[in-house]
Amino acid sequence: MNAIVTSMLANLHAKPDAASELVDEVLYGMTVQIMEEIDESWVRIQTAYRYEGYCQKDHLLVDEAKMDTWLQEANHFITQSFADVLQQPLIQSTKMMTLVKGSIICSSAVEELDPEWAAVQFVSGEIGYVRRKWLQEKIPVNSFSEQPLRENVVQTALSYLATPYRWGGKSPLGIDCSGLCSMAYMLNGVYIYRDAKIVEGFPIKEISLKHIQKGDLLYFPGHIALYIGNNLYVHSSLGGNEVNINSLDDQHPQYRKDLATSITAVGSLFK
């Protein structure tokens, strides 16, 4: 059974208990598969990127007819850290909902009004308005050649700079290390594994450190970072409390010996 996320963020927990560990967040408009009904409040779900956890039912809409339509027509995602969807195309209008970067929305519901505002449709069918520059068309899989994709992944990761660290987080409200790296790829049309390790069946393959390029991934014990070139990497650091940049160069002021000397693997989407 399939469902659509209808909350700004749907928390995925390690157990069917709101007090249990947060393992992931699924954003508005993303689709999931319900693997098991636990009780009247909880289900076990699997995301489109094959990550599993327990979610409260009231974050989800289960409607196969709407699911089919949504999969065909929900063709844009939010690029701004936070975007208010308003009742009218006026800045003074009432807010209907706030969406975070990566949320999926349908923007083909009605005719375009002007260069500034886009009409968008919620899962419920309600129409709202958001600034057009905060929307981007969903990127098809394998739509970029290697170098543009590498650059886009780096720029997407850098757009989260200074985002607070949140265990299990995946939005500008708070993000963890693997959330940052997986979102950097997801927003460019590629699903990688959600956690800080290389897993068979996902597109990241191990390479040697000497072959590392922009957009490749650095793995440490329980941690992951995205390489941005010139011996620099961006990561959501529990020790640093936010998304920041550090260096592998021991002469650089942003050098972190604890990480630079504990690399366990380097991963790349490309051979």
> Does the pLDDT of residue 26 top 70, yes or no?
yes
Q: Which CATH superfamily is domain 2-71 in?
A: SH3 Domains (2.30.30.40)
Catalytic site includes residue 235 = yes
Domain pair 2-71 / 74-137, same fold: yes
> Does the pLDDT of residue 109 top 70, yes or no?
no
The Cα–Cα gap between 255 and 236 comes to: 15
Report the pLDDT value the prediction gives residue 108, as an integer from 0 to 100: 66
DSSP H/E element including 206? strand 205-207
More reliable by pLDDT, 44 or 115: 44
162-185 pLDDT, tens digit per residue, is: 999 999 999 999 999 999 999 999
229-265 pLDDT, tens digit per residue, is: 999 999 998 777 899 999 999 999 999 999 999 999 9
150-161 pLDDT, tens digit per residue, is: 999 999 999 999
* Residue located via tokens 């308003």: 86
* Residue located via tokens 């929305």: 105
> Does the pLDDT of residue 80 top 80, yes or no?
yes
Report the pLDDT value the prediction gives residue 68, as an integer from 0 to 100: 87
Number of other CB atoms surrounding residue 69 within 10 Å? 15
* 125 token code pair: 């069918």
Lowest mean pLDDT among 14-28, 45-59, 111-125: 111-125
Highest mean pLDDT among 65-74, 121-130, 225-234: 225-234
Write down the catalytic residue from 13, 59, 76, 223. Answer: 223
Q: Are 5 and 26 in contact (CB under 8 A)?
A: yes
- Give the torsion sign (CA, 137, 141, 146, 151): positive
Q: How wide is the angle at C-alpha 152 spanned by C-alphas 146 and 157, nearest 5°?
A: 130
> Does the pLDDT of residue 99 top 90, yes or no?
yes
Write down the catalytic residue from 13, 59, 76, 235. Answer: 235
The Cα–Cα gap between 205 and 222 comes to: 18
> Does the pLDDT of residue 111 top 70, yes or no?
no
38-58 pLDDT, tens digit per residue, is: 999 999 999 999 999 999 999
- Residues of the chain with pLDDT > 70, as a percent, come to 98
Task: Tell the burial category of 193 from Cβ atoms under 10 Å away from its Cβ (0-12, 13-18, 19+).
Answer: buried
Strand partners, 82: 100
Catalytic site includes residue 252 = no
Region for 173 from its dihedrals, namely left if φ exceeds 0, alpha if ψ lies in -120 to 50, beta otherwise? alpha
CATH code: domain 146-268 is 3.90.1720.10
Q: How many Å separate Cα 212 from the centre of its chain? A: 23
> Does the pLDDT of residue 112 top 70, yes or no?
no
> Does the pLDDT of residue 114 top 70, yes or no?
yes
CATH 2.30.30.40 fits 74-137, yes or no: yes
The Cα–Cα gap between 17 and 2 comes to: 21
Q: Are 28 and 98 in contact (CB under 8 A)?
A: no
Report the pLDDT value the prediction gives residue 110, as an integer from 0 to 100: 52
Write down the catalytic residue from 13, 55, 76, 177. Answer: 177
Catalytic site includes residue 223 = yes
Domain ranges of the chain: 2-71, 74-137, 146-268
Which among 16, 23, 58 is positioned nearest to 169, based on CA atoms? Answer: 23
